[in-house]
Amino acid sequence: MLTPEVWILVWSIAALIDVGLPLKFYNHYYFTLYPPICIAAAVALSLAARNRIKHFALGFAILFASAVPLWAIGESRAARGAEADAPREVAEVVRRAGNGSSSLFVYNYDPVIYALTRLRPPTPYVLGSESVEFSYSSHANGVAEVQRIIDSSPDFIGVHTTLPSEFLQVELDQLVARKLLDYHLIRQIENGTNGVIVSLYQH
């Protein structure tokens, strides 16, 4: 019969495979590891404390206290980001200027805007890197996919215009730039945390 420790080990290995298999390694992928590692840490602490409640409580308090500085840093960064939330502002402009059936294409920027506007993405490859850097794992033809989207003339196009992305090819940028000649700029929004400027165009 397998012990709980073995099951936790199996869970941890499965989580590692889940993180590594896409070969992309975005920060949020590592959230999958949190549950098994936290449970494993609690089991290890229990063994180290020899199942004595007072020793376990003391060790737990020390572990919790060591996480407080990291939590405080995260809260500070989140507070700065809340000062100017470009994705939410873009979504609000789209909701006011359009309607529930509007179409939106977010190019080279945060795909969370689709969720905030409650509009369906025009492509399953919502991350720009999936069309170029990670095309081998996403099996996406970036040029063909972007061409298909802009040929459909979405009602709104949101573009990150501060700096060119290291992931996206010049060819894709040129495709979108030519299409934007048929659109008019309705809003430019600067994000507070990193100074990214997002331009929103309407057809």
Judge whether residue 82 has pLDDT over 60: no
Which span out of 53-67, 68-82, 125-139, 148-162 was modeled with the highest average pLDDT?
148-162
Q: Of 39, 65, 81, which one is at a domain's C-terminal end?
A: 81
- The pLDDT value given to residue 110: 85
Q: Which of 126, 173, 182 is nearest to 147 (CA)?
A: 173
Q: Of 31, 47, 81, which one is at a domain's C-terminal end?
A: 81
Claim to verify: residue 77 and residue 90 sit in the same structural domain:
no
Give the confidence band of 22 by pLDDT, cuts at 50, 70, 90. confident
Judge whether residue 129 has pLDDT over 80: no
Our separate counts of H helices and E strands in the chain read: 8, 4
Claim to verify: residue 74 and residue 96 sit in the same structural domain:
no
Please give the residue range of the domain that contains residue 64. Answer: 4-81
The tokens of 40 are what? 């494993």
- The pLDDT value given to residue 83: 55
Claim to verify: residue 43 and residue 131 sit in the same structural domain:
no
Distance of CA 181 to the CA centre of its chain: 29
Claim to verify: residue 134 and residue 37 sit in the same structural domain:
no
Claim to verify: residue 21 and residue 116 sit in the same structural domain:
no
Contact 152, 104 (CB under 8 A): no
Claim to verify: residue 65 and residue 97 sit in the same structural domain:
no
Claim to verify: residue 103 and residue 71 sit in the same structural domain:
no
Q: What is the DSSP letter of 191?
A: -
Q: Of 41, 59, 81, which one is at a domain's C-terminal end?
A: 81
- The pLDDT value given to residue 89: 86
Claim to verify: residue 104 and residue 40 sit in the same structural domain:
no
Q: Long-range contacts for 126-133 (Cβ within 8 Å, ≥24 apart)? A: 128/165, 128/167, 128/168, 129/24, 129/167, 131/168, 131/172, 132/167, 132/168, 132/169, 132/172, 133/167
**What pTM did the predictor assign?**
0.60
Convert 170-186 into a string of H (helix), E (strand) and C (coil): HHHHHHHHHHHHHCEEE
When pLDDT is averaged across residues 81-95 and rounded to a whole number, the result is: 78
Claim to verify: residue 164 and residue 190 sit in the same structural domain:
yes
CA dist 53 → 47, 48, 64 (Å): 11, 11, 16
- The pLDDT value given to residue 81: 56
> Side chain identity at 203, as an amino acid letter?
H
Claim to verify: residue 92 and residue 184 sit in the same structural domain:
yes
Q: Which of 202, 105, 110 is nearest to 162 (CA)?
A: 110
User: Quick check: helix, strand or coil at residue 89?
Assistant: helix
Judge whether residue 164 has pLDDT over 60: no
The tokens of 145 are what? 């996919």
Q: State how beta strands 104-107 and 156-160 pair.
A: parallel
d(CA 131, CA 15): 26
Claim to verify: residue 195 and residue 111 sit in the same structural domain:
yes
Number of domains in the chain: 2
Claim to verify: residue 58 and residue 96 sit in the same structural domain:
no
- The pLDDT value given to residue 47: 82
Give the confidence band of 182 by pLDDT, cuts at 50, 70, 90. very high
d(CA 136, CA 203): 33
The tokens of 180 are what? 């934007």
